[in-house]
A and B are shown apart, each in its own frame.
Chain A
Amino acid sequence: MTTTREIEPQTQELDRVTIRFAGDSGDGMQLTGTQFTRTAAVYGNDISTLPDFPAEIRAPAGSLPGVSGFQISFSSTDIHTPGDEPDVLVAMNPAALKTNVGDLPAGGALIVNSDAFTAANLSKAGYAANPLTDGSLKQYALFEIPISTLNERSLDGLDMTSKQKDLTKNFFALGIMFWLYGRDYDGTVRWIDDKFGKRPVIAEANTRALKAGYAFGETTEIFHTHYRVAPAHLAPGTYRNITGNEATALGMLAASKLAKRPLFYGSYPITPASDILHQLSGYKSFGVKTFQAEDEIAAIGAAIGASYGGALGLTASSGPGIALKSEALGLAVMVELPLVVIDVQRAGPSTGMPTKTEQADLLQVMFGRNSDSPVPVVAPATPGECFDLAIEAWRLALKYVTPVVYLSDAFLATGAEPWKIPSLEDLPDISVRNWTEKETFHPYDRDPKTLARKWAVPGTPGLEHRIGGLEKADISGNVSYDPDNHHRMQLLRQAKVARIADDVPEIEVFGPDRGDLLILGWGSTYGAIRSAVERMQAQGRSVAHAHLRHLNPFPSNTEKVLRSYRRVLIPEVNLGQLLMLIRAQFLIDAEGYNRVRGKPFRIAEIVEQAEKILGVGD
C-alpha cells in the first residue's frame, strides 16, 4: 500500500464534494452510487447525481465499453449540477481507470482496487504498462487498496463461492467512502436487510463487506484526512431523494387524483423511459391501469382510446419511439382529445446512444407530424420539477382538450436530487367535466375563451357522435372537404394552442432585469446554466438566467425578456433547436452554444462561452 501524499490526520470541512464510482457493469456501481446518494440526502446535504452506464447489460467483463459510472455531488449549499469534475474517483478496475481518470483534476483523490490490476485486465483496458507503477498517475493522490482480497477475508466462514464473495466488493468500497465522509452506514444496512432478507447469507455478506470497508478506513492510516460536508440549508419541510423518472411517475399519479380520472398508461419498453412503466405498474391500488403494448404505436393508440373513454390516457417513449407514435399523435390533434406523451430524450439520431442524454427531440415533437399539427410542449428543468410539470401537462391537456408533449431526458430521468414532498392541499385542482347536455351539444363547438371543444365521452345518453382523422366541419364535427372550412379549422387548432401562452406563468429572470447577457435554457441544462450565472454574478458580471418550462407556446413575456439584454445565449445539448425557434418567432439574433456528447453541460463550459460573448477572459 502506498500513498503519494503525506498529510497530518485531521477532519476537514468541505462545502462540496463530488465522487465518481466507476467499475465494470457487473460491479454494482449504480447501487453503490445510489446508496451513497440516499445516505448523503438523508444526512441533509443537497445532492445531484449523474449515472452513466452502458446500454449493454453485461459487456465483456473488464472491457472499456463495459465500464459503468455514477457521479454524485453533495454539498452544504444549494447545488444545481452533479459537478463538472470529480474530487474523488473510485476505480474498481483498469478499464474504469482508463475511461474516467481523464476527468479527474490534478491533485484529485484516486482510489483503486489494486487486486483488479492483473495482466489480463490491464490488457483488456489497453494498458501496455501498469499505470499504478509506471508513474503515470503521479499527479493524483493515489490510494491503492486491495479491495477484493480484503473483502474476501472479511467474509471468511460464509457459505459462498469466491465469485459470490467478489460480488460484494462494491459494499466494501462504499464502506470506505462512508468513513471518509463521516457517514453512518445504518441506513444501508437496513436497506440490505430489506432487499436480501430472504437470502440471509447474501445479506450478511453485504453487511460484513460494508462494515469491513468502514473499519478499514477507520483503522488504517492511508487516509490522513477525514472530511465533513455539513448539511445544506434547504427550505423547511420533509424531503426525500428523487430521480426524474420517479418524479414523473408520481406526478402522473397525482394528476389522476387531481383530475378525478383514472390513469391509463400505454407503453412499450425503451431506455430511458421504461422505469416509468415499472413504477406505474405498482400503483394498482390507485386504479392505475398499465398496458405493455406490442409496439410504440399500440401504446399511444391505447392511450388515445382510454382518453376517448374519459380516462387520462398517457404514453411515454424516447426519440425513436416518438417517431413511431407521430401519426397517432396527429390523430389526437385532429380529434382534439386530452393525451400526454412523455419523451425521455436520449442521444440520437436512430438508436444513437440509448443510455446517454441529449435534448434534441424538441423540433421532432414540435414539427414531426404531417401538416400543421400544433401541440403544447412542456419540459421540466430538474428531477424534482418532473412532478410539477406532469401535473401541468395534464392541466393543459384537460383544460384545452388537446394532446400535450412532456420532454424529459436521460439526465433528468436517472439523476437524483432532494425533493421537498408537497402537501396535497397545495396541489391544483385540474378536474374538468365532460359535456352532458344534449340540447347544446355539437362535438366541435368550442369554449369561446379556451377554444376547447365540447368533449363528450361514450356512455353519455343522447350525445352519440362520430369523430375521426378526416377533417371536421367547424362546430358539427361532420366530415368536411370544404376549402374554407379546412382553412378555418387549421387556424382554430393553431389559435387554441397559442392561447395557452396567457395561461402559463411568465418566465422569471434570475439576475438583473436588463443587462449585457441573458442565458436562456430549457430542460436539464438548468443546473449548469444557473451555477454558471451564479459564478459570473459573483464576479460582478451583468448576466441573467431565464429558463423555459413551456416551449410551445412560449410564455407571454418571452420576447420582452429577451429584448431586455444586449446579447442572448442559448446553450443546448443539441445543434440549436430552441435557438431556431426563438430566432424564427422573434427575429432576435440569439446565439447558440451547442455540445452533444451524450453528457450534460459542465458549468465551466458555459462560463467560458458567456465570457467569450461578454468579451472578458480570465
Chain B
Amino acid sequence: MTDTTNTTNGQEQPALSPENAEVIQLTRKDFVSDQEVRWCPGCGDYSILAQTQKQMPDFGVPKEKIVFISGIGCSGRLPYYMNTYGFHTIHGRAPTLATGLKAARPDLMVWVITGDGDALSIGGNHVLHSMRRNVDITMVMFNNRIYGLTKGQASPTSEFGKRTKSTPAGTVDTPIQPLTVALAAEASFVARSVDTHTEHLQHTLQRAGLHHGSTFVEVLQNCNIFNDGAWRDFTDREVREDRMLLLEHGKPMTFGKDRDKGIRLRGLHPEVVTIGENGVSEADLLVHDETAEEPYLALMLSRMFWPEFPVPVGVFRAVPRPTHDQLIQQQISAAVAASGEGDLAAVLASGETWTVE
C-alpha cells in the first residue's frame, strides 16, 4: 500500500517493502558503529550483536531506514553499537516508542532490543499490547534468566527456587515462558534461537526481520558473570542435538544425533518417542506447521522444555496479518477518499456560527 501522508522534511516517503528498497551493497562493517563495545568479556551479547550486524546487509534496506530501539538492561546497549539510527530509551518502554515511530513512519524498519526483565517484568504490558496490535516491529529478547546490569537479582524467567542476591533462600515466584506469553498476546511471528548457535541465530533473525507484523524472538543468552551456564545443559555442542528440537516447517519433529527421536501427540500431551521402537514410525510424529491459523501447536511447543523435553528452537509461528501502521493508514485513506483532504478553515468554523458586524 502507498502511504501518502508520511513526510520527512516535506518529502513523501514510500512505505518500507522489498520492492521499494534500492539495490544497495552493504557489508557487515557498514553496520558497525564507532562506539567501543562494553559488555563483560565472554558475554553472549557479543555473539548476538555480531549475528545481527552480519545479517543486516541481506535485507537490502538502506541503513538510514533502520532504527534500533532498546530499553534498560545489558541488552539496551546494543543500539549504540549499530551504525543505524538508534534510541536507548527507558526501562520496559521500548515497544511504546517503537509503536509510535512505526505508526508515524511506516517507511522505517524498526527493531526492539530487550531482555527478560525489561520485556517481561517492567515492560510486560507493552509487550502484550504491541504484539496484539501487530505492530510491525522485530522484538529480540535476550533471555539470560537474571538481572545482569543490576548485578544478579532474580528475573521473571529465573527458575523456581533459584538462589540469587535478591532471593538468598530461593525465589518463590513461578517463572514464565516468554514464547507462551508472546503467543497468548497474538504475536504474528514467534521464534527462538541461541546466542552461540550462530548460523541458526542469523537465519532466525533474517526470517524475523523479513516478517511484517509483531515479531518476537527469544534468544537464549548466557550471562557468564551472574548466571553462567543457564542454558548449558542443552545448548552445549556435545548435547544439543539430543536435547534440542530444531523446528522446520512442514517436517516431522525429529531430533537426536541420529535423528531417531521424535515428538508424538498422546491425548492432549506431547511425548518423546524413538522411531523404530514400539512400532513408532516417522508417520506417527507431529509435523511442524508455523502457519497454522490457531496457535495450539505453537503454544504446546512453547511449554516444552528441558529436561522433560528437548527444547524447541526455530520459528514457532509465522502468520500474515494486517499491521498496525497499515490499518491506521487505511482509515486515513478511507477518510480522505470519503470526504477529501481535511480543510482546516472549515473545521474551525464548524458547528453553529454567527457574525458580529
Contact = CB atoms under 8 A, between A and B. Distances in A.
B283 interface: no
B5 A287 contact: yes
Contact of A469 (B64, B67, B88, B354): B88
Given A464-B83, A470-B88, A297 B352 contact: no
B356 A234 contact: yes
Nearest to B65: A459
Give the one of A301, A303, A305, A327 with max B CB within 10 A. Answer: A305
B319 to A, nearest CB: 22
A600 interface: no
A479 interface: yes
Given A458-B65, A459-B64, A240 B88 contact: no
B347 A253 contact: yes
Interface string A447-462: 0000000000111111
Interface stretch (A90-98, A259-267, A546-554): A259-267
B355 A305 contact: no
B161 interface: no
Contacts of B336: 284-285
B278 interface: no
Contacts of A289: 103-104, 328, 332
A468 interface: yes
Contacts of A38: 351-352
Contact of B8 (A294, A299, A434, A462): A434
Contacts of A467: 86-88
Contacts of B87: 305, 308, 335, 466-468
Interface string A232-267: 001111111100000000100110010011101010
B100 A257 contact: no
A229 B230 CA distance: 81
Contacts of A5: none
B211 interface: no
Contact of B340 (A285, A297, A302): A285
B356 A235 contact: yes
A286 interface: yes
B126 A298 contact: yes
Contacts of B67: 458
A187 B354 CA distance: 12
Interface stretch (A161-169, A309-317, A395-403): A309-317
Nearest to B353: A240
A44 interface: yes
B13 interface: yes
A7 interface: no
A459 B103 contact: no
A240 B100 contact: no
Given A262-B5, A328-B90, A331-B89, A297 B96 contact: yes
Nearest to A435: B9
B345 A459 contact: no
Interface string B77-94: 001101111111110010
A283 interface: yes
A529 B10 CA distance: 45
A310 B104 contact: yes
Nearest to B10: A260
Which of A38, A308, A457 is the most central at the interface, judged by chain B CB atoms within 10 Å of its CB?
A308
A463 interface: yes
A422 interface: yes
A72 interface: no
A474 interface: no
Given A302-B96, A303-B100, A464-B83, A285 B341 contact: yes
A291 B339 CA distance: 22
Interface string B109-144: 000000000000000011011000000000000000
Interface in B154-175: none
A305 B354 contact: no
Given A305-B98, A459-B64, A298 B93 contact: yes
Contacts of B82: 466
B100 A291 contact: yes
B130 to A, nearest CB: 9
A285 B104 contact: no
Interface in A27-46: 38, 41-44
Contacts of B64: 458-464
A469 B77 CA distance: 11
Contacts of B63: 464
B35 A478 contact: yes
Contact of B9 (A294, A328, A433): A433
Contacts of B313: none
A458 B105 contact: yes
A291 B103 contact: yes
Given A38-B352, A234-B356, A264 B103 contact: yes
Contact of A302 (B6, B99, B352): B99
A465 interface: yes
Contacts of B355: 237-239
A436 interface: yes
A78 interface: no
Given A285-B335, A286-B344, A310-B7, A468 B88 contact: yes
26 contacts: A43-B354, A238-B355, A240-B349, A240-B352, A253-B347, A262-B5, A264-B103, A266-B100, A285-B336, A286-B344, A287-B5, A291-B99, A298-B99, A301-B89, A305-B103, A313-B100, A331-B89, A458-B65, A459-B8, A459-B65, A464-B63, A464-B64, A464-B86, A466-B86, A467-B87, A469-B88
Interface of A: 38, 41-44, 187, 231, 234-241, 250, 253-254, 257, 260-262, 264, 266, 283-287, 289, 291, 293-295, 297-311, 313, 327-328, 330-331, 335, 421-424, 433-434, 436, 457-470, 478-479
Interface of B: 5-10, 13, 33, 35, 62-65, 67, 69-70, 72, 79-80, 82-90, 93, 95-105, 107-108, 125-126, 128-129, 328, 331-332, 334-336, 338-342, 344-345, 347-357
Given A254-B348, A294-B128, 10 more contacts: A238-B356, A239-B355, A240-B354, A310-B105, A423-B345, A424-B344, A457-B9, A458-B67, A458-B85, A466-B88
